[in-house]
Amino acid sequence: MNKQASLPKQVKIVEVGPRDGLQNEKENVPADVKIELVNRLASAGFQNIEAASFVSPKWVPQMATSRDVMDAIVRKPGVIYSALTPNMQGFEAALAARADEVVIFGSASEAFSQKNINCSIAESIARFEGVAKAAKDNGLRLRGSISCAFGCPYQGEVPLDAVADVVGRMRDLGCDEIDIADTIGVATPRQTQAVMERAAAAFRLDGLSGHFHDTYGQALANIYASMEVGIAIFHSSVSGLGGCPYAKGATGNVATEDVLYMMQGLGVATGIDLDIVVDAGQFISQFLGRKGASRAGNAIAAKRAN
Ligand code: HMG
Ligand code: MG
């Protein structure tokens, strides 16, 4: 059987480095560095960049400059600049900052929901109702993110039914897109397909996205496995930055450069210029004072230097 024939011809890559990537950095990253990073990524051709997070600065201090970032980035026409909004306070801030898309983020794991947003899954959905309605009333896109869809650092296994249940709730809230997230990077390819197929029974396949962290080195394989079941939206982080402060031990998102390199090889269109992303990865790695975590990014940079 020709597997490649069953892959999507093009995929949307959502760059989450400026938010998911940087939120986990202990040292303050000044707003002007974040602004330059977002602008560089926009020039690479991403249609969607997660640029900000309007959460409590006590919970995630690194995101406290989100308004400054959103105010100063050069808005490229057609690009969706997204912001996380856990509640109405976050929504009002995102609206004032002219976010194009707001992201409500829940969990398929009760334990993680408590740790990350300090409430149960049911309470979070009730809280999101106001945000979802306000988003629609203001003509903003609404995305729902479901953490720990493949495993939880606190409760371990997460049943398929729990994922399907939250997908259904996010759908009923009116989400335009729903992210199935492997917060701690534990998923493997067949499991990924089982979860994605179950999610697709509850929501449009073309509205589902895969958000994979790469803790166990499975993220590219999981993306490939997701494409085999028809998923065509993926999240990634330039230079493999990232992690969640409330998921101890979890490392960064899959590196954007690695995903782009794989897509190029597969002949799957992304509309993104890998070279510009490699430059952006070098820029942020130099600022952070460490080698980037993208294997493809490092290989391309090394080849250039020869
Ligand atoms: P809480 O303490 O229960 O909230 O936190 P509260 O309503 O009782 O308010 C407490 C204080 O926070 C008050 O301030 C509020 O004003 C303030 P005080 O009176 O004490 O000075 N506050 C806010 N400030 C700014 N913006 C807001 C906001 N809301 C309240 N929006 C809350 C509940 C949800 C706020 C908190 O738990 C929180 O901010 N959590 C965010 C955690 C987070 O950002 N985690 C990382 C993002 S999720 C992620 O990375 C996963 C993802 O990548 C997918 C995946 O990989 O799984 C998306
Ligand atoms: Mg994440």
Contact yes or no for 231/209 (Cβ under 8 A) = yes
- Of the pLDDT bands very low, low, confident and very high (cuts 50, 70, 90), residue 248 is confident
CATH homologous superfamily of domain 8-305? Aldolase class I (3.20.20.70)
State yes or no: pLDDT of 279 exceeds 90: yes
State yes or no: pLDDT of 5 exceeds 70: no
Residue closest to 143 by CA, chosen among 91, 191, 96: 91
Task: Give the mean model confidence (pLDDT) for residues 55-67.
Answer: 98
Residue 89 CA, closest ligand 1 atom number: 31
> Does the beta carbon of 59 sit less than 6 angstroms from any atom of ligand 1?
yes
Q: What is the pLDDT of residue 35?
A: 98
Nearest ligand to residue 82 Cα: 1
User: How many Å apart are CA 240 and CA 235, to the nearest integer?
Assistant: 11
Task: Give the mean model confidence (pLDDT) for residues 16-41.
Answer: 97
> Does the beta carbon of 60 sit less than 6 angstroms from any atom of ligand 1?
yes
- Of the pLDDT bands very low, low, confident and very high (cuts 50, 70, 90), residue 47 is very high
Task: Give the mean model confidence (pLDDT) for residues 74-96.
Answer: 98
Task: Give the mean model confidence (pLDDT) for residues 272-292.
Answer: 97
Instruction: Calculate how far, in angstroms, residue 21's C-alpha sits from the geometric centre of ligand 2.
Output: 8
Q: What is the pLDDT of residue 177?
A: 98
Instruction: Calculate how far, in angstroms, residue 117's C-alpha sits from the geometric centre of ligand 1.
Output: 6
111-130 pLDDT per residue, tens: 999 999 999 999 999 999 99
Q: What is the pLDDT of residue 2?
A: 45
- Of the pLDDT bands very low, low, confident and very high (cuts 50, 70, 90), residue 153 is very high
User: How many Å apart are CA 268 and CA 287, to the nearest integer?
Assistant: 32
Mean pLDDT score of the chain:
96
- Is 244 in the active site? yes
- Of the pLDDT bands very low, low, confident and very high (cuts 50, 70, 90), residue 247 is confident
Q: Whose CA is nearest to atom 20 of ligand 1?
A: 58
Q: What is the pLDDT of residue 204?
A: 98
- Of the pLDDT bands very low, low, confident and very high (cuts 50, 70, 90), residue 3 is very low
* Secondary structure element (H or E) that encloses residue 15, with its range: strand 12-15
User: How many Å apart are CA 194 and CA 187, to the nearest integer?
Assistant: 11
Q: What is the pLDDT of residue 241?
A: 95
Nearest ligand to residue 87 Cα: 1
Q: What percent of the chain has pLDDT over 70?
A: 98
Instruction: Calculate how far, in angstroms, residue 242's C-alpha sits from the geometric centre of ligand 2.
Output: 7
Contacts of 25 (CB under 8 A, 6+ apart): 62, 241, 288
12-24 pLDDT per residue, tens: 999 999 999 999 9
Q: How many CB atoms within 10 Å of residue 116?
A: 24
Q: What is the pLDDT of residue 192?
A: 98
Instruction: Calculate how far, in angstroms, residue 219's C-alpha sits from the geometric centre of ligand 1.
Output: 27
- In the chain, domain spans: 8-305
Task: Give the mean model confidence (pLDDT) for residues 285-299.
Answer: 96
